């Protein structure tokens, strides 16, 4: 059975940008930017650049996800390729915010394909598998000037295969940097 071509990650970024362009951008407190973050669980390490959109206390982001598999995800007897790629997206909300410091909650999702080599009687066979990671995390961000921000935090992660199902709980930590610009000229 022929496999369908996989959608490219840049399509996701284009869709996010089109949604942002359709939104009324004349109001204050709209920001668009880029971020680079690293996420770490005991089984995976993620390098995740993203396009970000912030309105007041709400933050949306999406981008590619480059994953290093640090150990077997499910079956110890299967050989895993040590890298994978996919998409990541999420939503954050600032629970507390001052001029430089913010405390936030973030729901983060990562969907990626990884390859395994299983040995059968007919010989080794390579298979593609899809993982969906759901994460709920609390974090702190600190602003450096008007445009740069550093952030870090921790929370819980699940490889359950469905969004917002937190089974097989694992701890997750993250850290990153972001750069954003206001979309409104009325903003200070």
CATH no. for residue 26?
A: 2.40.160.20
What's the pLDDT score for residue 165? 63
Give the pLDDT band of residue 150 (cuts 50, 70, 90): very high
In the block, tokens 């998409």 appear at 87
What's the pLDDT score for residue 188? 47
Higher pLDDT, 59 or 133: 59
Question: 74 lies in which domain range?
Answer: 9-182
Query: Over 80: is that where the pLDDT of 48 sits?
Result: yes
What's the pLDDT score for residue 187? 43
Give the pLDDT band of residue 158 (cuts 50, 70, 90): confident
pLDDT 10s digits, 84-141: 899 999 999 999 999 899 999 999 999 998 877 777 677 777 778 788 888 999 999 9
Query: pTM surpassing 0.85?
Result: no
In angstroms, the CA 140 to CA 150 distance is 8
In a domain, 64, yes or no: yes
In a domain, 188, yes or no: no
In a domain, 4, yes or no: no
Q: How many domains are there within the chain? A: 1
Range 152-171 average pLDDT: 77
Contacts of 20 (CB under 8 A, 6+ apart): 32, 53
When mean pLDDT is compared across 103-107, 134-138, 162-166, 174-178, the lowest value belongs to 162-166
Query: Over 60: is that where the pLDDT of 8 sits?
Result: no
Exposure string of 66-104, with b = 16+ CB inside 10 Å and e = fewer, is ebebeeebeeeeeebeeebebbbbbebeeeeeeeeebeb
In a domain, 187, yes or no: no
In a domain, 1, yes or no: no
């Amino acid at each position: 059975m022929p496999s369908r071509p996989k959608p490219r990650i840049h399509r996701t970024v284009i869709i996010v940008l089109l949604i942002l362009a359709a939104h009324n951008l004349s109001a204050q407190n709209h920001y668009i930017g880029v971020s680079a973050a690293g996420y770490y669980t005991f089984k995976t390490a993620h390098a995740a650049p993203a396009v970000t959109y912030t309105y007041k206390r709400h933050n949306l982001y999406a981008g590619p996800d480059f994953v290093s598999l640090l150990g077997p995800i499910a079956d110890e007897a299967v050989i895993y390729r040590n890298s994978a790629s996919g998409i990541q997206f999420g939503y954050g909300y600032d629970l507390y915010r001052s001029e430089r410091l913010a405390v936030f909650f973030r729901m983060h999702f990562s969907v990626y394909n990884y390859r395994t080599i299983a040995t059968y009687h007919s010989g080794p066979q390579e298979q593609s598998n899809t993982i969906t990671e759901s994460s709920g995390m609390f974090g702190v961000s600190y602003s450096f000037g008007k445009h740069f921000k550093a952030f870090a935090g921790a929370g819980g992660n699940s490889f359950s295969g469905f969004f917002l199902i937190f089974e097989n709980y694992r701890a997750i930590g993250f850290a990153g940097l972001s750069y954003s610009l206001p979309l409104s000229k009325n903003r200070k």
